[in-house]
Chains A and B, each alone.
Chain A
Amino acid sequence: MSEIPAEVQGWIGQKKYEEWGEFDVERGYIFTSCSSVQNGNPLFWDDKAAEELTGGPIAPPSMISVWFRPHYWSPGRTEEAVPLQLHFDLKATLGLPEAVMTDNTITFHEPVRVGDRLKTTQILRSVSDLKTTKLGTGRFWVLEVEIENRNGDLCAIESYTGYGYKRSGS
């Protein structure tokens, strides 16, 4: 069994990549997201319902990660920007070229409102020993993302389990 590198062990429990989203929460994406799953909840389509129930327009809670994913391209950027940089750091440092997400847990707090901008912090919680699955051999890891709005209110805590692997025979 291969040891987890000391560098990676040192990341566990440390807050990394405190970052602000690149744009404000806006309704275009809310409509596109609702359309993509045919979500007809009037909270997201009917201003009167939103005003009555939530004091104005909010985003669907499950959209939380949308607001901190970087643009595909932006001026001056020379490398691909990725969300969950820690996930990609783990792939690179552990030498595991492929990865998928297997588990996702989101705890929702303050609703995300149109016009908000969100700040995220990434924390590595654990890394497993080497395991072999039908995809290949690799490690599972658990990452947590804390998400706050401009007022410092906690909006959500999102936890991902990733599986980084080398394909069998590669």
Chain B
Amino acid sequence: MTAAGISFEEVEVGEELPELAIDITPSTVVLGALATRDWRPMHHDKDFAQERNGTRHIFINTPHNAAYFERYITDWTGPRGRLGKIQFRMSDSVFPGDTMVFHGKVEGKEVDEAGCGWVDLSIQLDVGDTVTTSCRARVALPSATDDNPWKRKGEAWRPSPSS
């Protein structure tokens, strides 16, 4: 990742983000659960996960999933990219032994009334042939050389299209 990152101008609708593959181990799941202060046993106790949740193993928790999506997005945007909104649906869990593969695509771009450049992304997290999580994200990118999305406040920051 470079300090400069990409600008709004450089992004094209339909552009695909680089694929990212990550192998998941029990340590990955437990580290993520502890890093997000999620002490629920289905994220560190295999017996509990199997007996109570009916799952085959411990599984990645929701905020850890969010952290992976943020990393995937900002690996692409660079540090000037500022997340406005992230929305994801987990249709299946991710377990130790799985390889998570992230795919992303630019679905749209617009400059809002405040002059903020927004890019809308669709992201898919696959394990094998299964889509485990689908995500939509809205991220602000610099719309001019002197624009820094992180400096936007109040009316200049509108992370929901309707707001």
**CB pair B54 A36 closer than 8 Å:** no
Q: Which one of A33, A40, A42, A72 lies within 8 Å of B67 (CB-CB)? A: A33
Question: Which secondary structure dominates where chain B touches chain A?
Answer: mixed
Q: Cβ of B66: which chain A residues have Cβ within 8 Å of it? A: 62, 104, 106
Residue of A nearest to B91 (CB): A102
Most buried by B among A54, A62, A65: A62
**CB pair A37 B71 closer than 8 Å:** yes
Count A interface residues, CB 8 Å.
Answer: 41
Instruction: With both chains docked as a complex, state the minimum distance between the C-beta of A77 and any C-beta of chain B, in angstroms.
Output: 13
Docked CA distance A101–B40 (Å): 12
Interface positions of B (Cβ within 8 A of A): 1, 3, 22, 28, 31-32, 34-39, 52-54, 62-71, 74-75, 79-80, 82-91, 148, 150-151, 153, 157, 159-160
**CB pair A108 B83 closer than 8 Å:** yes
**CB pair A54 B150 closer than 8 Å:** yes
Whether, in the assembled complex, A98 has its beta carbon less than 8 Å from a beta carbon of chain B, the answer is: yes
Residue of A nearest to B92 (CB): A134
Interface positions of A (Cβ within 8 A of B): 29, 32-33, 35-43, 49, 53-55, 60-63, 65-66, 69, 72, 98, 100-111, 135-136, 160, 167
Instruction: With both chains docked as a complex, state the minimum distance between the C-beta of A80 and any C-beta of chain B, in angstroms.
Output: 8
Known: A35-B35, A98-B53, A111-B150. A104 touches B88 (CB 8 A): yes
Residue of A nearest to B163 (CB): A107
Instruction: With both chains docked as a complex, state the minimum distance between the C-beta of B116 and any C-beta of chain A, in angstroms.
Output: 13
Known: A60-B70, A62-B83, A107-B84. A32 touches B35 (CB 8 A): yes
Docked CA distance A55–B150 (Å): 9
Instruction: With both chains docked as a complex, state the minimum distance between the C-beta of B61 and any C-beta of chain A, in angstroms.
Output: 8
Docked CA distance A38–B71 (Å): 8
With A36-B36, A42-B1, A106-B86 known, 13 other A-B pairs at CB within 8 A are A38-B22, A39-B74, A49-B3, A53-B80, A63-B63, A63-B67, A69-B36, A69-B38, A101-B90, A102-B89, A104-B90, A105-B88, A108-B85
